[in-house]
A and B are shown apart, each in its own frame.
Chain A
Amino acid sequence: GAGVSQTPSNKVTEKGKYVELRCDPISGHTALYWYRQSLGQGPEFLIYFQGTGAADDSGLPNDRFFAVRPEGSVSTLKIQRTERGDSAVYLCASSLLRDPRNTGELFFGEGSRLTVL
């Protein structure tokens, strides 16, 4: 499809395991964002990429969380030594760096639901 694609849609893992979540942005979108959403709350910013580089990673909660975007397109969010508190929906969004309609619109995927047992 033409939208932001996230895989897996659901991931169940055990405490202490390593997890990777993948985001495939809209073609041509140079900006990419990761958000985390806990039940009943709004999405919480994690990290922002411009091209291949992380321009703002101030939302990553600790050093167990890491994200990469090596070729400026697909991004992977990596979580080491998962904890039960990491359970949430992880949302990815992409946008144009220069939006001709000047909306600054972020296009979100449907998210990856992570459950840590």
Chain B
Amino acid sequence: DAKTTQPNSMESNEEEPVHLPCNHSTISGTDYIHWYRQLPSQGPEYVIHGLTSNVNNRMASLAIAEDRKSSTLILHRATLRDAAVYYCILRDMGGYKLSFGAGTTVTVRA
């Protein structure tokens, strides 16, 4: 699996946006970019995914660089419930499993 690189941790204030970067310079043309997050004492949960175009859903937005070697997960207004570990994962189009790295631990200050 192609590797991703994320910062270990990020802090944010409540109600402010959070931009989580992910580098994936060895991404292949058939790799989707997936984001999951893991709240304390829970299993990971799906956040968003994309291939080439920017994506929005009710949880977040995903901005993908034109060369696809990096992406940014955007939480538009952080709440205390968004404090979690966020994982950026590459998954082949025909693939079935997710390979998790260490992720980015997001702390939200009230």
Interface set of A (CB-CB < 8 Å, partner B): 4, 31, 33, 35, 40-45, 48, 50, 55-56, 91, 93, 103-111
Q: Which of B58-66, B74-82, B98-106 contacts A (4 or more CB under 8 A)?
A: B98-106
Interface set of B (CB-CB < 8 Å, partner A): 32, 34, 36, 41-46, 49, 85, 87, 91, 95-103
- B contact residues around A108 at 8 Å (CB): 42-45
Report 15 cross-chain contacts, Cβ distance below 8 Å, ordered by A residue.
A4-B43, A31-B96, A35-B100, A41-B102, A45-B97, A56-B97, A91-B43, A93-B43, A104-B49, A104-B91, A104-B95, A106-B46, A107-B46, A108-B42, A108-B44
- B contact residues around A105 at 8 Å (CB): 46
Question: Across the interface, do A106 and B98 meet the contact criterion of CB distance under 8 Å?
Answer: yes
- B contact residues around A44 at 8 Å (CB): 100
Considering the complex of A and B, which 3 residue pairs feature the smallest CB-CB distances, nearest first? A108-B43, A42-B100, A105-B46
Question: Across the interface, do A43 and B42 meet the contact criterion of CB distance under 8 Å?
Answer: no
- A contact residues around B46 at 8 Å (CB): 103, 105-107
- A contact residues around B98 at 8 Å (CB): 45, 106
- B contact residues around A103 at 8 Å (CB): 46, 49
Question: Across the interface, do A43 and B97 meet the contact criterion of CB distance under 8 Å?
Answer: no
Query: Looking at the complex, which one of A43, A56, A104 makes contact with B44 (CB distance below 8 Å)?
Result: A43
Knowing A104-B49, A105-B46 are in contact, say whether A110-B41 is a contact too (CB < 8 A): yes
